[in-house]
């Protein structure tokens, strides 16, 4: 099942998918996509004519989402916005993540971090994105729940939160948003243009009209300006900004120290939405001899890690690289393994200069 998910994900973004794969996948996935599209379009129509109604909550709701599946850099942007609201605007702020792929029951509201402490240190239990939010925000609380309304109400009632930031909540119409941001990968854009599962689109491109801002994430895209123009021609979001992501250093998972890995022979593994971008970056400065890809939000086991370490020995490689998102899920399995390191990611964006922070400030302070 995991391998099938990886194959389908590759098919979504392949410029020229293999003929055999296309023949095998197009008809069955296309049929499902038609029914999926009918459901999504009908749901949005019912919300537009007020038969289905969004629930207004007390806190100001900022939503950071995307139209496609896979990683587009939402979580770092969520942390940036939450930190701005909490520490610059001095508003009590909560981050709410769905907790997808976590062992915690996300039908409940789970407190991952409050103003006094972080209650979990294992991303496999609480969710990788939730733990990253907990680690990279200051003076914020972090909750997980698929019920965003209930989570927002708890944040207001128990913690007095004036602002909540939803990590990946664009398709959730049950809660009324005050400010919506769509994140779009400048290279991957909208996959092959089809709805799930034939393509990676969760909703038709026309639904981009519900967003106040489009944040176009640039992860080393040499044609960023041309791609931005192409994206803006396809969506109906009026305002946009480019958000640059740069790779930080390499850090050893066992001891947390930064390590220098230049021109080394390495193997890599990850379970993220866009694995090829990670591998391509490593190839720029390292000799990547083997890569193991798991599906997004995959829950690792001890056996998975042992197999990767065994593969490294077979290839006579003493350095293994993964991502920061994966690091939070495998700590418990690498306590006695010094060969595994993670690559950190830095967000380089000045949201003040491009007006995004000013727009948020006006809304939050109303």
Beta bridge partners of 62: 165, 179
The pLDDT of residue 122: 92
Residues 210 and 338 in one domain: no
For residue 73, say whether it is annotated as part of any ligand binding site.
Answer: yes
> Which CATH number characterizes residue 70's domain?
3.40.50
Residues 150 and 226 in one domain: yes
Residue 221 placed within a domain: yes
Structure tokens at 109: 């509201």
Residues 241 and 130 in one domain: yes
Residue 27 placed within a domain: no
Task: Tell me how far apart the alpha carbons of residues 285 and 268 are, in angstroms, rounded to a whole number.
Answer: 13
Q: Give the CA distances from residue 222 to residues 72, 225, 347, 351, in Å, rounded to whole numbers and listed in that order.
A: 17, 8, 17, 21
Residue 140 placed within a domain: yes
For residue 241, say whether it is annotated as part of any ligand binding site.
Answer: no
Task: Report residue 226 CA to chain centroid gap.
Answer: 24
Residues 199 and 297 in one domain: no
The pLDDT of residue 106: 95
Residue 21 placed within a domain: no
The pLDDT of residue 4: 75
Output the CA angle 361-186-340, nearest 5 degrees: 95
Structure tokens at 26: 């197009």
Residue 137 placed within a domain: yes
Residue 4 placed within a domain: no
For residue 193, say whether it is annotated as part of any ligand binding site.
Answer: no
Q: What does the H/E/C string look like for 191-211?
A: CCCCECCCCCECCCHHHHHHC
Per-residue pLDDT of the chain (366 residues; tens, 9 = 90+): 556 777 788 788 877 777 777 778 899 999 999 999 999 999 999 999 999 999 999 999 999 999 999 778 899 999 999 999 999 999 999 999 999 889 999 999 999 999 999 999 999 999 999 999 999 999 999 999 999 999 999 999 999 999 999 999 999 999 999 999 999 999 889 999 999 999 999 999 999 999 999 999 887 777 888 999 999 999 999 899 988 877 789 999 999 999 999 889 999 999 998 888 899 889 988 999 999 999 888 999 999 999 999 999 999 999 999 999 999 999 889 988 989 999 998 776 667 667 898 999 999 987
Task: Tell me how far apart the alpha carbons of residues 273 and 185 are, in angstroms, rounded to a whole number.
Answer: 11
Residue 43 placed within a domain: no
Residues 217 and 115 in one domain: yes
Tell me the pairing of strands 258-259 and 110-113.
unpaired
Task: Tell me how far apart the alpha carbons of residues 220 and 207 are, in angstroms, rounded to a whole number.
Answer: 27
Residues 161 and 251 in one domain: no
Residues 79 and 169 in one domain: yes
Residues 180 and 270 in one domain: no
Structure tokens at 179: 């400010």
Other Cβ atoms less than 10 A from the Cβ of 172: the count is: 17
Residue 267 placed within a domain: yes
For the chain, the domain total comes to 2
Residues 274 and 333 in one domain: yes
In sequence order, the 6+-apart residues with CB closer than 8 A to the CB of 234 are 189, 190, 205
Whether 272 contacts 326, CB under 8 Å: yes
Residues 192 and 222 in one domain: yes
Residues 229 and 122 in one domain: yes
Whether 82 contacts 98, CB under 8 Å: no
Tell me the pairing of strands 320-323 and 340-348.
parallel
Residues 142 and 205 in one domain: yes
For residue 70, say whether it is annotated as part of any ligand binding site.
Answer: yes
Helical spans, DSSP H, in the chain: 2-13, 19-48, 74-83, 123-126, 128-135, 148-159, 224-234, 275-285, 302-314, 324-330, 356-364
Task: Report residue 293 CA to chain centroid gap.
Answer: 17
Q: At what angle do helices 74-83 and 128-135 cross, to 10 degrees?
A: 30
Q: Tell me which DSSP letter residue 313 carries.
A: H
The pLDDT of residue 288: 97
For residue 228, say whether it is annotated as part of any ligand binding site.
Answer: no
DSSP string, 48-59: HTTSS-PBP-SS
Q: Which structural domain range is residue 236 located in? A: 60-246+348-364
For residue 72, say whether it is annotated as part of any ligand binding site.
Answer: yes
The pLDDT of residue 352: 63
Question: What's the half-sphere exposure (Cβ side, CA atoms, 13 Å) at 215?
Answer: 32
For residue 74, say whether it is annotated as part of any ligand binding site.
Answer: yes
Of 124, 127, 121, nearest to 143 (Cα)?
127
């Amino acid at each position: 099942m995991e391998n099938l998910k990886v194959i389908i994900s590759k098919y979504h973004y392949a410029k020229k998918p293999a003929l055999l794969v296309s023949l095998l996948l197009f008809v069955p996935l296309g049929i499902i996509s038609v029914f999926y599209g009918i459901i999504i379009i009908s749901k949005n129509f019912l919300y537009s004519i007020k038969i289905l109604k969004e629930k207004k909550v007390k806190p100001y709701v900022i939503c950071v989402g995307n139209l496609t599946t896979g990683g587009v850099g939402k979580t770092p942007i969520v942390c940036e916005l939450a930190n701005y609201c909490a520490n610059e605007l001095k508003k009590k702020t909560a981050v709410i993540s769905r907790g997808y792929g976590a062992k915690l029951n996300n039908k409940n509201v789970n407190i991952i971090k409050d103003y006094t402490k972080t209650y979990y240190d294992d991303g496999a239990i609480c969710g990788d994105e939730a733990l990253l939010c907990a680690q990279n925000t200051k003076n914020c609380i972090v909750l997980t729940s698929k019920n965003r309304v209930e989570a927002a109400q708890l944040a207001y009632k128990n913690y007095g939160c004036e602002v909540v930031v939803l990590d990946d909540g664009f398709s959730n119409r049950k809660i009324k948003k005050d400010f919506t941001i769509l994140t779009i990968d400048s290279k991957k854009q909208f996959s092959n243009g089809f709805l799930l599962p034939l393509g990676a689109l969760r909703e038709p491109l026309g639904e981009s009209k519900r967003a106040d801002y489009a944040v176009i994430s640039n992860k080393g895209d040499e044609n960023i300006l041309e791609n931005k123009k192409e994206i803006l021609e396809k969506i109906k979001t009026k305002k946009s900004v480019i958000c640059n992501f740069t790779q930080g250093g390499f850090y050893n998972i066992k001891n947390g120290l930064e390590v220098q890995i230049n021109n080394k022979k390495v193997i890599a593994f990850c379970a993220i939405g866009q694995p090829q971008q990670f591998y391509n970056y490593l190839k720029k400065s390292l000799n990547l001899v083997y890569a193991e890809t798991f599906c997004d939000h995959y829950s690792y086991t001890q056996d998975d890690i042992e197999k990767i370490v065994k593969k490294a020995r077979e290839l006579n490689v003493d350095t293994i690289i993964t991502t920061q998102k994966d690091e939070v899920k495998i700590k418990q399995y690498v306590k006695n393994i010094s060969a595994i390191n993670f690559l950190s990611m830095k967000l380089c964006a000045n949201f003040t200069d491009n007006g995004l922070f000013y727009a948020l400030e006006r809304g939050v302070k109303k």
